């Protein structure tokens, strides 16, 4: 009788220990394959990054660049590229165009075919379409892009609303970003959680 009680308590302990993992797997299986791109975030981020780049070019920095060259000033090559890109067009508009191309990349990527996408532009933007509103009103992933004008790659984060895990990455093209995000959506990626 004692052996039977010990075995039953071991079985109970094993069931208790595996329960959190079963819950996590069940939660992952219930995730909706829908992504809302937070254009409000990326537009504001792009604007702030351009403001920082402009503040880099003060009188002292300009003098050092004239006297010693850009290579002798820390961060100068990167900041000059950023300044040129920021001056070329409105940074918020650049971020929005990047996201428009990203939405097209999602549409043509075969790995994204069963997912839905929406583009949130903020409370002052035109109302979302009915299709976008349907995506936003259900559980979804939120994609935030730290858009930097002139950068060779864009950093991004992806989080399923209501969960603590945040996936982060950096992608050089819109097509690569779409592929990376859809791999996470459908469990084909081991992107680190942060």
pLDDT one-digit tens code per residue, 1-53 = 444 444 334 444 444 444 443 333 444 446 889 999 999 999 999 999 999 88
pLDDT one-digit tens code per residue, 119-176 = 999 888 888 889 899 999 999 999 999 999 999 999 999 999 888 999 999 999 999 9
pLDDT one-digit tens code per residue, 41-90 = 999 999 999 998 888 888 888 888 888 888 888 888 888 888 899 999 99
Angle (nearest 5°) at CA 184 between 180 and 187:
135
Nearest to 149 by CA among 75, 48, 23: 48
Is the pLDDT reported for residue 190 higher than 70? no
pLDDT one-digit tens code per residue, 100-115 = 999 999 999 999 999 9
Whether the CB-CB separation of 156 and 170 falls below 8 Å is answered with yes
In the prediction, which pLDDT does 69 show? 85
Take residue 53 and report the two structure tokens written for it.
């780049």
For the chain, list the domains and their CATH numbers.
Answer: 31-47+91-185 (3.40.50)
């Amino acid at each position: 009788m004692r052996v039977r009680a010990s075995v039953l308590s071991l079985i109970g302990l094993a069931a208790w220990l595996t329960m959190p993992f079963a819950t996590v797997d069940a939660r992952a299986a219930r995730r909706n394959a829908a992504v809302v791109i937070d254009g409000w975030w990326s537009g504001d981020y792009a604007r702030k990054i351009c403001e920082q780049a402009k503040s880099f070019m003060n009188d002292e920095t300009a003098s050092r660049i004239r006297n010693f060259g850009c290579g002798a000033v820390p961060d100068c090559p990167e900041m000059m590229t950023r300044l040129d890109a920021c001056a070329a067009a409105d940074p918020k508009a650049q971020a929005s165009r990047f996201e428009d191309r990203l939405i097209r990349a999602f549409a043509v990527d075969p790995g994204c075919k069963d997912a839905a996408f929406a583009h949130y532009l903020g409370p002052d933007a035109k109302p979302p379409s009915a299709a976008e509103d349907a995506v936003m009103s259900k559980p979804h992933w939120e994609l935030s892009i730290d858009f930097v004008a002139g950068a060779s790659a864009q950093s991004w984060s992806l989080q399923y609303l209501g969960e603590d895990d945040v996936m982060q990455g950096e992608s050089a093209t819109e097509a690569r970003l779409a592929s990376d995000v859809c791999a996470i959506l459908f469990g084909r990626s081991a992107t680190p959680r942060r």
